[in-house]
Amino acid sequence: MTLTLCLHSSSAKPSVFVFRDGEKFVPKIDNCIGDPISGPSIAELAADALSAADASADDVDQIAIDIGPGRLSAVRAAVAFTNAFSFGLGKPVLPIISSFAVGLLAERKFGLPAIVVHKSAGGTAFVGRVVNGSLETLRHGSVDETVRLVAKGLQSVSLVGAPASLLKDIEVTQMGDPEISGEIFPELIKVGEFVAAPVHPITEQSALINV
């Protein structure tokens, strides 16, 4: 049996859950959505999710973490916890780019290429483009300009996290906030590449960002 500790950290409501051979376990404590300021902490959520699975930290085989882009304070807290956990117990880590995970869900739901927008400070955003199950590009810049640049050449898209009015000459199917369904994690775990810690949060300086 393989037990995977999963951390979804990029959204406005970070969460922790455990998968063991397809079965999902979630924390049972009140307010089980993490917040780096008001709590509960990532560590508390992880401990409670493991307890729900009748497991302990020593039982974890691997860790999957959404490294952003997204809510940077929460992502950094989750990444710091993951690196400490991985280093301390020698567990491999699967870093998941949230733009890819969200885009994959949107592409499958609507049957269209997906543009995923994670807004950041100062009127900027991270904008990813997912086509045929692959993250083709991930850029950071002003919201309007970057969304149009990333969508260039497409005739129709599913747009996540931004208003359809940004793409006046493209047929747009709109999806709400860039949230990752927990059910996508097992699929990404099956095909993803696990690495040794440390992993790093996505920022505008990340090597993954196209310029």
Q: How many Å apart are CA 156 and CA 172, to the nearest integer?
A: 6
In degrees rounded to 5, what are phi and psi of residue 36?
-65, -15
pLDDT at 182: 79
pLDDT at 1: 82
pLDDT band at 38 (very low <50, low <70, confident <90, very high): low
pLDDT at 183: 80
Element (H, E) at 191: helix 184-191
pLDDT at 33: 54
Residue of higher predicted confidence among 135 and 210: 135
pLDDT band at 211 (very low <50, low <70, confident <90, very high): low
Q: What is the mean pLDDT of the chain?
A: 90
Domains and CATH numbers, the chain: 3-97+180-191 (3.30.420.40), 98-175 (3.30.420.40)
Give the predicted TM-score (pTM) of the model. Answer: 0.91
Residue of higher predicted confidence among 208 and 79: 79
Q: The sheet that has 15-20: what strands, in order across it?
A: 23-25, 15-20, 3-8, 62-66, 93-96
Q: Is 110 exposed, middle or buried (0-12, 13-18, 19+ CB in 10 A)?
A: middle
pLDDT at residue 207 is higher than 80: yes
Q: Which two tokens stand for residue 185?
A: 């994690």
Classified as helix, coil or strand, 33 is coil
Question: Residue 203 region, left (φ>0) first, then alpha (ψ -120 to 50), else beta?
Answer: beta
pLDDT at residue 39 is higher than 60: yes
pLDDT at residue 156 is higher than 60: yes
Which of 31-45, 67-81, 139-153 is predicted most confidently?
A: 139-153
